[in-house]
Each structure stands twice: as C-alpha cells, then as structure tokens.
Amino acid sequence: MYCKTITCARSGSETILLSVEADIRNGLPGFTVCGAVSQEMKESKERVRIALENAGFLMPPKRITVNLSPETKKNDRSSPDLAIALSVLSAYGYIPESFLNDIAVIGDLSLDGTVKPVKGVFSYACETEKSGIKRIIVPFENAAEAAICKGLTVYGVRSVKEAVFSLSGEKEPYERDEKAADELLSEKRPDIDLNDVPYALKSKKALYYAARAHVNVLLLGSEDACRKLCEAFGNHISEISNEEKIKYLKLKNTPDITENKDIEVHNGYVVIKSAMNSRKTDLGALYRALPEGCVTVACASPCPCGAYPDKSCICTGSRLKSHYAKLDKAVLENTAIYTHVGYGLSDILSVRESGNVFKRSPEIRKNTGRHESADVNTSLSEENKRTLERLFAGRPFSEREVMNTIKLAKVIAGTEESEVSAKHIEEAFSYCVFSIEKRAADEE
C-alpha cells in the first residue's frame, strides 16, 4: 500500500517542502529510505521503526520503502521522523490516506514514541502557509511558535499516538494564545546602555549614530570590548511593530542563523561576532535577507596582535594588509561606518568627561532603508559642498560613500539639534568605511 505526506527541511538559507512517500508490500522484510538525502535523514528509519513498536503499533514483517524528495544537500537539516512514521502507519492501514492530505508534519521521535521539539519551526510554518497548506502538526513545545502564522491550523503533539488522534479529529487543534505569541516575539532589553560602557567614546558615538541613521557598522576591537558595546547597543534601537518582529523571528529561524553561533538576531538589529571570511555562513545572503531598516554590527580584530592602532602594535604593514584581506567582502560592501574600539587611558578619561549623552531608543523609527537614493548633496550649503570636495579630493571614492557621509552628517547634526556644518561633515567622514587596505599599506 502507498501513502504520501509533507514535511520541511532547511536547505542553505532557505526552507523547502519535502515529499515523504511510503510503500509497503510483501517480500523480504526490510526498511529502506531512498532519495538524494543527507545521512541524517537516512538514519531516521531505525528511530521510526523502534518508536512505532514502543508506541504499541504492530508492524508485521513487510518490505517498507520510504522515498524523500526533492534532492537535498549533504548538510541540510530536517526533522522527518514523525512524517515518516505517519506515512508508514497509513501504508499499514492504521490511518486513512485522505487524512494526510493538505497537512505538513514536523518533528523528531524518541525511541519510546514521544515527539521532541525541534529548531526552525517558525520558518517551517511560514513555508507551509506560503505553499497553501492549511494544517500543520508540530511538537507541542513548538506549537505557540507555529501558531504565529494565522493562516494555519496547528496541532501540537507530544507522541505519535497524539499525532494519529489529531489526524482523526479526536484531538482539538492548538488554540492560539496571543500572550504566548507576544512573548515569543518580544525581546528583553539589556540592563546597560552605551552610557554604561567606560571606554570607546568614538565607537559609542558611531553606534549611536548608526541606530538613528539605520546604517551598518564595523567594529575593529578585541572580542570582549566589542561584546560589551553590542550588548549596550540594544537599548538605543527603537521598538518595532509585531509585523516587523515576525520578520526578525523568521530570519532567526533560517538555517544559516540557527547553525551559526557567530550571528545573533535581535529585534531591529543583527550582531556578526566575526566579520572574517567564514565558510559557515554566506554573509552576502544574510545582508540580502535583512528586513528594511535593520542595523548590523559586525566585529573583527583590528590586527593579528590585537593592538592596532595603539603604539604597542607590533604588526607590519604587510601583516595588516593580509589581515584585512580576510574581512568578508559582503561586510565591507554593506557597511557605512567603521571605528576602532579604543579602551586605553585617554579613552576612559574622555568618556568620563563626556557624561551621559546617549539617549535610549530613538523617538520614531523611520522607514528610510539602508541608504537614501536621492541627490542628497543638493540640500547642502556651498560651504558644506566645498568641505566634501576637500575631504574626497585626491582619492578614489564611490557614490555610496559620499551619500553615507552626507546622511551621517545630517544625523550628527540632528542629535545636536542644529543645521549641518563643516564640523559635522568632517566627523561623518572620519566614520565612513573607506580603503582599509590603503591604511595598511601606509604602515609599510
């Protein structure tokens, strides 16, 4: 007898639907999982067989063949155990085949037949809803997460038997809890803000301006120094709507994020702990997937010895150049501000003299996007235009760099509640990402 159901898999930065087909017939007893799938998926056959027997389902010796399609990659992640189990039960005749129509099944199995929670359920639910499927079975612990998709009827199950009862109508669907959904979407703000960081005044200003301008930042400093700044940065990002929070939750559930500890997704901003080239994540795809207005803070060591630009740095120009060549290209292409994280005595003293100057959460989060496309320099005075020409004279530059400088100058002036002046343009210029390689070459 033949039966088919649907499950989901995480492939690269995408979520895809998988077809799970089961066929049972007389012949040499065995359980085969075929299809171009990962080894992890093929190993699920032993868990499924033992889980069904321990759950009390009789499985007469038959030839069981399960096919998973379409083709997946070696490192793809999936939770097909429960979908395979229900397909096999239907093929044995325990479940009418029609019960598995228009439903997706997600979940891993323990050997005793209980269903274990899995990662990425929200992205699975979104893909299921997008495909037009109206129902989904998920582990009970993940039901609130899946129920955020209002177009789905969600069944949260704790065991294989509960999954069967859900299909037969004996178990009621999960009732969406608005409070639970809000808790999943909300995020606790950190206890500190930029005023509590006792060093790196320039870096704190860069982050503060980035929060207001919605542009990306590259922090060059030690791991501990960058971590403290990133933690404090969250209190300077405005609250966002539930619709936007759903976008960030979906981003958080993508495979590249769930499998990579170097990337943290928060409501309104993303932290990349290492901006150096990494095979773990395609950062270019990450930047393309970011919601509009999202701010990314990428971190990297300033040099091989970690001391640059302090005088104690022992790195030669060639070592610096080689070090910065390892910076991920996608980070450089999408960053508007870069800053070295200073934490010496002079930095600590300058922070104490500045006082508490960084307000929490900008008043209104304007949907400005990452970069303005208008001819922004038409609104500048003649004096400011001359300042720009002087700063950019004699060096290669791009239109994006000029726009970032002007945009940042306007933000800096806005924090002082004044008109844009040459001082603001010069400060903005000092933050913009220009040729890091040239700076390394100048050391030689």
Task: Read off the pLDDT of residues 314-325 as tens digits, 9 standing for 90 and up.
Answer: 888 788 888 888
- 13: tokens are 């930065």
Q: Phi first, then psi: what are they for 26, rounded to 5°?
A: -70, 155
380 contacts 258 by C-beta, under 8 angstroms = no
Beta strands 295-300 and 269-272 are parallel
- 342: tokens are 């200073």
Confidence of residue 367 (pLDDT cuts 50, 70, 90): very low
For the cut 50, the answer to whether the pLDDT of residue 376 exceeds it is no
> What is the rounded CA–CA span in Å between residue 18 and residue 256?
19
Give every CB contact of residue 236 below 8 A, 6+ residues apart in sequence: 193, 194, 207, 208, 211, 358, 359, 360, 361, 362
**pLDDT for residue 182:** 80
- Cis peptide bond N-terminal to 60, omega within 30: no
Return the higher-pLDDT residue of 10 and 136: 136
Give every CB contact of residue 150 below 8 A, 6+ residues apart in sequence: 176
Return the higher-pLDDT residue of 147 and 355: 147
Neighbouring-strand partners of residue 6: 19, 104
**pLDDT for residue 71:** 67
Domains of the chain: 2-183 (3.30.230.10), 194-441 (3.40.50)
19-54: per-residue pLDDT in tens?
A: 999 999 998 888 888 875 666 666 788 889 999 999
**pLDDT for residue 354:** 54
254 contacts 263 by C-beta, under 8 angstroms = no
Sign of CA dihedral 221, 320, 261, 268: positive
**3-state class (DSSP) for residue 356:** coil
Give every CB contact of residue 399 below 8 A, 6+ residues apart in sequence: none
**pLDDT for residue 269:** 92
260-266 mean pLDDT: 85
> What is the rounded CA–CA span in Å between residue 174 and residue 155?
5
Instruction: Tell me what the pLDDT averaged over the chain comes to.
Output: 81
Residue 376: other Cβ atoms inside 10 A: 17
**pLDDT for residue 13:** 64
Residue type, 364: I
**pLDDT for residue 345:** 46
**pLDDT for residue 363:** 43
Residues in the chain: 444
For the cut 50, the answer to whether the pLDDT of residue 436 exceeds it is no
**pLDDT for residue 298:** 92
**3-state class (DSSP) for residue 281:** coil
Confidence of residue 433 (pLDDT cuts 50, 70, 90): low
Direct distance between the N- and C-terminal alpha carbons of the chain, in angstroms, rounded to an integer: 74
